[in-house]
Copies of this chain bind each other. A is one copy, B any other.
Amino acid sequence: MEKQKRFILPESEIPTQWYNIVADMKNKPLPILNPGTKKPLTVDEMTPIFCRACAEQELNSTDKWIDIPEEVRNQYKNYRSTPLVRAYGLEKALDTPAHIYFKNESVSPVGSHKLNSALAQAYYCKKEGVTNITTETGAGQWGAALSYAAKVFGLELAVFMVKVSYNQKPYRRLIMQTFGAQVVASPSLGTRAGKDILTANPTYQGSLGTAISEAVELALNTPNCKYVLGSVLNHVSLHQTVIGLEAEKQMEMAGEYPDTIIACFGGGSNFGGLSFPFMRHNILDGKKTEFIAAEPSACPKLTRGVFQYDFGDEVGYTPLLPMFTLGHEFAPAHIHAGGLRYHGAGTIVSQLIKDNYMHGVDIPQLESFKAAELFAQAEGIIPAPESAHAIAATIREANKCKEEGKQKTILFNLSGHGLIDMTAYDQYLAGDLTNFELPQEEIDKTTSKLEKII
């Protein structure tokens, strides 16, 4: 009997509810604050920027299970369930006793997990009569997903794409435009936030924090327009739990349960999406699964950040979030994993780190590309530079298994493919990529400016 390689759920088994880990957390995340009053943010204070349904999910969700609207489920069926894959090729290349599985979110039509939340948020906006939406994007995975979701639900979309990625990854800009979205390099001259940043630093290549400022500002100044976010916030992670809920059933099909779960970490949505459904068994059922968030050494908020209230964006338009952060003015180096160039971690994840349910590891850029190349040659899939961080962390764990002669079951999230990121591979293959040292004083410079609320 040959071994099964891919595990796919029938359409009838695609989850009909998302999982809200907050309901099960013993220590709830600290509240999001109104920066003016320093009091917990209310839904009414959030709705000038966000649609009401997302604001409700963000602030008031106490239900453990939240129904996925039928319109969103119908769209999920276009690409879900995504396969759970046993990485026999990678295991062989590493000569490891570990059993390695990955959840392949790269098969979504836009190439990443981001569509799971894009469809949900676009649907909620449409349902509330919103006509226009704005967002930020780093490498463009989120922007591409939202561009398609906006088209599905008949919304106009403007995307602020971090300038360094706008230039590094022209194809992803073109994908957004093919889906009908407007794309602007950020910082731009079209917003007050962008103008101020460019005035202070004309060659600034942008960051997710800056792009968020611009998108929020545009939403506030445009009639019937809401802002939509691709990560960080609770409701985004919530929508992504469809990943882990599927993976749970698929691991059961494979007859194993993960000892270690790994995902890359930018704002936390693909990490939370895969992890939270499994983590509930650590919280409730005494399971001992280890959860590892793989972040880039160039933007190490989990391993080197401080836990403090901070803004979600560069300028300070957003509410104050309790998070592990490098400071909202932190300008990360120009690594190719544009989706991981964000200064802070979401409020749920930050609490889970404090409570030792998970931990971060930091991966230098060269190690991530070496892992990506090995994975591509072993499994045939060229991973996104972001996902390559999860692969690198997985390889570290698998090598540990080999050294210690232990058989562990490792599950990681292949959050996206890297077919649009080939210039990064070009530079890697040519030997032109470097690691980025990040001296402690760089971190201190931006974290020391944070108001001490905690």
Contact = CB atoms under 8 A, between A and B. Distances in A.
Contacts of A74: 2, 5
Interface in A1-56: 2, 4-6, 8, 11
Contacts of A180: 377
A154 to B, nearest CB: 11
A361 interface: no
Contacts of A6: 11, 77-78
Nearest to A180: B377
A89 B148 CA distance: 12
Contacts of A376: 178-179
A171 to B, nearest CB: 4
Contacts of A151: 377
A145 B115 CA distance: 27
Interface string A395-426: 00000000000000000000000011011011
A379 interface: yes
Contact of A11 (B5, B115, B420): B5
A177 interface: yes
A5 B77 contact: yes
A107 interface: yes
Contacts of A431: none
Interface residues of A, number: 44
A16 to B, nearest CB: 11
A378 to B, nearest CB: 8
Nearest to A76: B5
Interface string A55-96: 000000000000000100110011100000100010000000
Interface in A199-214: none
A190 interface: no
Given A380-B109, A420-B419, A178 B373 contact: yes
Contact of A178 (B2, B89, B152, B429): B429
A429 B177 contact: yes
A261 interface: no
A78 B174 contact: no
Interface centre among A77, A115, A379 (most CB of B within 10 A): A77
Contact of A422 (B70, B78, B170, B429): B170
Interface string A349-385: 0000000000000000000000001001101111000
A279 interface: no
A279 to B, nearest CB: 29
Interface string A134-174: 00000000000000100110000000000000000011001
Contacts of A79: 380
Contact of A111 (B78, B419, B422, B425): B419
Contacts of A115: 380
Nearest to A8: B8
Given A11-B5, A107-B107, A380 B174 contact: no
A78 B70 contact: no
A152 B74 CA distance: 37
Given A109-B380, A178-B376, 17 more contacts: A2-B77, A5-B11, A8-B8, A115-B380, A148-B377, A148-B380, A152-B380, A171-B419, A171-B423, A174-B422, A175-B382, A177-B426, A177-B429, A178-B425, A178-B429, A180-B377, A420-B422
CB-based closest 5 A-B pairs: A109-B380, A171-B422, A174-B422, A5-B77, A109-B381
